[in-house]
Structure 1
Amino acid sequence: VVHSRPDIPLVGGIVARFSANPKENHLIAVKRIMRYLKRTDDFGLYYKKNGKFELNAYTNAYWGGNIDDRKGPSGGALFLGKRLVT
């Protein structure tokens, strides 16, 4: 769903910040999001096949990162043809 509905991760991430200690206004926000998803269940990214359908992925990983916890920045991008998907 995340890759076919780019409108969802942003609001999901915002609401997730408050999952440890939710308040009533957070419940209201989640209900609003659920209503939005129900009304827009036919939304998504659709591509017509025009010739070659090429999928390219580019990633970056910093192996080692911080010497204390071995964590580091990473990222990636997925292209369908010349269009950025995620």
Structure 2
Amino acid sequence: MSKTTVSANQAESAMASHADAIGHGNSPAAWTCVIVMLVGALVASIAFVIASTPIFIGGIAVMVIGLIVGWAMRKAGYGVGGSKLQNNGH
């Protein structure tokens, strides 16, 4: 174990401050991804309770589709800082 000490200033500079923007993914791509995945989780949960394997697998597939839709929307410019969301003065 190291015997070196860290001063309070060094520790504070190493940590992110609360003023730093951490980017919570507040974008159409993120919201669409989450909503589609929530629907898939709901379908899979109901299928689990009623013991229906095909519907459960369908719910899991909807969740995977949600990930793909979110990724595609981000690539299309609807993610955080995307080209479709920037204000161009109009």
* Superposition TM-score tier, normalisation by shorter sequence: 0.3 to 0.5
Higher relative contact order structure (alpha carbons within 8 Å, sequence separation ≥ 6): 2
Q: Which one has a larger percent helix, Structure 1 or Structure 2? A: 2
TM-score normalised to structure 1 length:
0.33
Instruction: Tell me the TM-score normalized by structure 2.
Output: 0.32
Structure with more of its chain in strand, by fraction: 1
